[in-house]
Structures are given as structure tokens and as C-alpha cells.
Amino acid sequence: MSSSSSGFTMLEVLVAMLVIGTGALAMIMLQLHALRSSRENSLQATATMMAQELAELRAAYRPTADAADPYLFVFDASRPIPVAADCASAPCDADAFAAAAIGDWNTRLARDFPAARAVVCRDGRADAHADWRCDGDPAAPAVLKLSWRRALSGGAPEATATPLMAIVLGR
């Protein structure tokens, strides 16, 4: 007496669920990677625009005699940002305006970039982008070196890590 059944066996159902589950997990991982890549591309674009803004501010600055260049600075997100004069409500001289512009720039950097680190210095070395050091040569161009914690790596930038971008801001 043979019985014919027209349904699926339990093993066939389990294999089908495994195949569908693996495909769904792969789609979720692909979507997660796309979101992280999109965020990283957005940070790269924002960093480039902020570097251009800093270059324009620096180019417009006219220092007083024997004044140090205020646009050469070091920023670390773990340290507090100094409060600068409010040039929107009262007139400022060139140095106070530069301090206010740098303070605003640093505030946006800290707000928009996770664990940000930036150095603006004079560096004429051919491999200026390779590390955080600067040669300080007065004839060398000003260079912005910038780094932040990347979503794709998941880790915090180390003190010895290389900058993610190094952009020449001008002389």
C-alpha cells in the first residue's frame, strides 16, 4: 500500500528557508555598507568645502606688522574650543575676526566629524600628507591635515594614524 503525498518534506522547507534567509541577510549587509559609504562620501565632500572655506579666509587675512598667522593652528576634538569674540554684534579687527572665524570653523568640525583632528601648518615636504609632522619652513605653503573616525573602519583614529586628507591652502 503506497501513499503519495503532494506536500513538501520538512527538509525541503528548511533548505528553502536557509536559502531565503541567506539572501535576505546579504541584502541587509549590502544596504548597511551602502549607507556607511554614503556617510563617508558626505564627510569627504564636507571636509573639502571646509578646507576651501579656510583657504579663502586665510587668503583674505591681512596681518598687522610682525603678527603670527592665526590660521596656523591645531585642533583636537578632545580639547575644548576657545571662545572668540562675536564679530556679528560688534566690529572686530583682523585678528579678532580671524579668531572668531577659526572658532566657528572648529565648532563645525567638532559637530560634523566624529573624533576630528586637524592641523594647519607650514609644510614643504614632498610627503606632507604622510604624517602629522610639519617642517615649519616660513617659505613653505600652509597645509591642512585632517582626520576623523571613519564609519567603515569602526575604530577611533590613533595619534600616529596618517591624516585622511592633506590640502594645500596657499602661501
Cα-based distances in Å from 65 to 2, 68, 71, 83, 94: 105, 9, 16, 25, 12
Q: pTM, whole model, 2 decimals? A: 0.72
pLDDT digit string, tens, across residues 54-90? 999 988 887 766 678 888 888 887 777 777 778 878 8
Q: Which has more pLDDT, 11 or 171?
A: 11
pLDDT digit string, tens, across residues 31-43? 999 998 888 898 8
The structural domains of the chain, with segments of one domain joined by +, span 40-170
